[in-house]
Structure 1
Amino acid sequence: MSELGIRVQAERAVAGTPRAGRDLPIAIGVGLALLAVVAGSLVFRKEGFILVAAAACGVALWELAHAFVRRGIHIPLLPLLVGLVGIMVSAYTSGPEALLVAFMLTAGGVVVWRVLDGTGPAALRDAAAGTFATAYIPFMAGFVMLMLAQPDGAGRVALFVLLAVANDTGGYVAGVLAGRHPLAPSVSPKKSWEGLGGSFLLAGAVGGVGAAVLLDASPVFGVLLGAASVLTATLGDLAESLLKRDLELKDMGRILPGHGGVLDRLDSMLLTAPLVHLLLLVALPAAAA
C-alpha cells in the first residue's frame, strides 16, 4: 500500500473515533439507566438507596482489589465487603460516631485478616492497601448515608448525585467542544481548563435550581455548593487517574459500557460526599436536628 493510502486510512480512523474516547449513545443510555435506579430508590423508599449504594461500592471494591493484583498486592476482599455493609448501616442508623467506629473496626479487621495469612513485607503492603481501600470507598460512602439519614435525606442525596452528574456532563461537553488547554497532562491528558469551566457552569446552575426545589434552600447557596463540589470532584477524578496510571490501566473495569468501571463513576463522588454533607449540615441545621 502506498504511503498516501496509509495516511488516508489513518485519518479516517481518527475521524471515526469519538473525540473524548466514549461511545456516546451507549454512555448516555447507561447513565440514564443508572439515574433511574437511583431516583427510584430515593422516591419509593429511601432505605432502598442503601442497597443500591452498597452494591455499587461493593463492585468498586472488587474492581480496586483486582487492579491492585497487577502490582502483586492482594487485599482481603471479604472483610472489606462485610465492613462496607457495617459502615453504611451504622452511619445511617447511628450517625457520625458510629461511622468512625465502624471504619476503625473494618480497617483493623482487614489488617488482622491479612496477618493471619502470614507476616512479612507482603503482609504489611497488603494490609496498608486494604486500609487505604477502606478509607477510600466505604468510609467516604458513609457520608452519603449520613446525608440520607436526615429528615430531608432523599433530597440531599438527590442534589449530591445531580451535582456529580452536572460536573461530569459539563466537563465532558465543554471539553469536547472547546478543550484546548490541558488541566493536568501528566495525569489525565483529556481533562482541560475549558472542561473545568463547563463543570463550574453546569454544576452551579444545577446546584442553584436543585437547592431551591429539593431542599427549599437559597439558590445562591446552591450555586456555591455546586462550585465547591466541582473542586473536590476534580481532585477525586485526578486522584483515580493517577492511581490508574500507576497501575497501567485505562479503566478500573468494563462493567458499565461507555463509562468503564463502577469506580470510574464513583471516583469524583467519593471525595465530594464529605464536603457536600458538611456544607448542607451547616447551611440547613434545622433539618438535621
Structure 2
Amino acid sequence: MSTSSAADRPGRSGPGTEPLPRHGSGTPRSAETLGRPGAGRPGPGGGPDRQADDTGPVPIVGNRPAPPLRPVGNRMPPAGAATDGAAPPDGAAVPGDDRVPGDDRVRGDDAGPGDDAGLEDDAGPGDDAAPTSTAMPRPEVAELPTTERPAGGRAGRDLRAAIGVGVGLVALVVTSLFVWRPAFLAVLTVAILVAVVELSRALGAGRFHPPLVPLLVGTLAMEGLAWSRGPTGLVVGFLLTALAVVLWRLGHGPAGYLKDAASGVLVALYVPLLAGFAVLLLVPDDGAVRVLAFIATVVASDVGGYAAGVLFGKHPMAPSISPKKSWEGMGGSVVACMLMATPFVVLWLGGPWWSGLVFGAALAVSATVGDLGESLIKRDLGIKDMGNLLPGHGGIMDRLDSLLPSAAVAYLLLSVLAPV
C-alpha cells in the first residue's frame, strides 16, 4: 500500500497548492466545471470551489477566484452575472467591476468630488444635461428624434439669446421698411442668399448636392426682377434659374445627376421664389404696411400657437413630423392671427370688415404648413437646425420656414381683399 501526501488526496489542500477535485473516475475536473452552479461539493477537508456559507460557486477567472460581487450604484448585479470560469473578453463587464465597458469613469458611490458627469442615480428630475462623449444619453433624451432633442438649457435653447436676437430682427425689419423701402429689399435679399446656402449645405446630409453658384445668381435675378418687373419678372427669373441649375450640373458627370438637379430646383422654388412674393408685397406705395401686416400675422401665429399648445395642448397634430404641435395650438394660432390681421387689413388697407378674419385664418394655416414642411425636411435629413447663425434660433432658414409660404398666400389674398 503506497502512501500519498495531503496534497495528492482529493478534497485536501496542502501548503502552496490549489488541487482540483476529482470525479469518481479519477479524472481531474477542469476549471470550467468549478464555475457551474452545483458542481463540485467540498470534500472532507473543504474545497476551494464553494464559499463557506454555501451560497454558490466561486467563479474562477483563469486560475484565480473572481472578486466578490459588489453593488453598482444602488443596485446589485443579477444572480446570473458570474462568468463560466473563462476569462471575460476584452472590454466586457467583470462582476464586481463598477465600470461600464469602454468607460473609464468611476460610477456609483466611487465617483470623486466634483465629478459632474450625468449619472443616473445622481441626476435630478428634469435634468437634461447633454451626455459626455463616453456617457450614454439619458433614455428620455435618446428616444427623442434628432429634431426634437434639446439643444441646451432646460427650455431646449438659450432663451435670453433668442429674445435678444428676435428683438434685433424686428427692429431691423421695421426700420428698413419705414425709412427706405429699398433698404428692406436689400435686407431681404441678403437673408435669402444666406438661407439658400444653409439649405444647400443641409441637403448634403442626405447626399444631395444642389449647384450653389446658379442658385445664388438666380436668387439675385429673381428678387431684382420681382422688384422691377412684378410677377412676370419673378416667374421668368425662376424658370431661368431652374434651367441654369440643370445645365450647370451637367459638368459634374452623370453620377447623382437627378438627385442634385432636382434638389437644386427644389431650393430655387422653396426659398427665392416664395420670398419673391414678399418683394411683390413691397412694390406698391403702401407696400410697407402690406409687408408688416404679413410678418406680424405670422409672428402672431407662432406666439398664439405656442401659448395655446403649452396651456391646452393634448391632441398631437402630426406626431411623426413634429410631436410638439397640437390641434389646440393650431386653434390658438388662428385666433391670434385673426386678432392681429384685422386692424391691418380693415383699418390701414381699407378691406371689408371680414377680410381680416379670412386673411388671419389663411396665414395661420400657411404658417403651420410651412413649419411642418421644414420639420419634415429636417427629420428626413436627421438634423436639428438648418444653421447656427442666429443664437437661440438656429439659422436664417429656421426663421423663414413659416414666412416663405405665407408670403405667397398674403400676396394673393391682399390682391383680392385690398387691391391697390
Tell me if TM exceeds 0.5. yes
Equivalent residue, structure 1, for 2:247: 112
Q: Is the 8 A contact 1:80 1:106 kept in 2?
A: yes
State the shift of 1:284 in Å: 1.9
2:392 to 258, 261, 265: 258
CA distance in 1, matches of 2:392, 2:323: 18
Equivalent residue, structure 2, for 1:128: 262
Question: 2:123 aligned with 1:9, yes or no?
Answer: yes
Equivalent residue, structure 1, for 2:415: 281
Give 1:9's aligned amino acid: A
CA distance in 2, matches of 1:161, 1:235: 16
State the shift of 1:26 in Å: 2.2
State the shift of 1:27 in Å: 1.6
Q: Aligned-pair RMSD on alpha carbons?
A: 2.0
CA distance in 2, matches of 1:261, 1:207: 27
* Paired residues for 1:1-289 under 5 Å: 1-2=73-74, 6=120, 9-14=123-128, 18=154, 21-118=156-253, 120-285=254-419, 287=420
| DSSP-derived class of the 1:127 partner | helix
State the shift of 1:230 in Å: 0.8
Give 1:63's aligned amino acid: E
Unaligned runs of 5+ in 1: none
Q: Is the 8 A contact 2:350 2:418 kept in 1?
A: no
CA distance in 2, matches of 1:178, 1:122: 47
Identity %: 46
Structure 1 length-normalised TM? 0.92
Structure 2 length-normalised TM? 0.64
State the shift of 1:212 in Å: 3.5
Give 1:11's aligned amino acid: P
- Residues 132-182 of structure 1, C-alpha deviation per residue, up to 9 Å, x if partnerless? 100000111111111111221111111111011111111122222332221
CA distance in 2, matches of 1:12, 1:160: 38
Rg larger in structure: 2
Structure 1, 8-17 or 131-140: larger mean CA deviation: 8-17
Aligned length: 284
CA distance in 1, matches of 2:198, 2:154: 26
CA distance in 1, matches of 2:270, 2:281: 18
| DSSP-derived class of the 1:13 partner | coil
Point out the structure with the larger helix share: 1
| DSSP-derived class of the 1:113 partner | helix
CA distance in 1, matches of 2:390, 2:223: 23
Give 1:41's aligned amino acid: S
Greater RCO, 1 or 2 (C-alpha within 8 Å, sep 6+): 1
Give 1:202's aligned amino acid: A
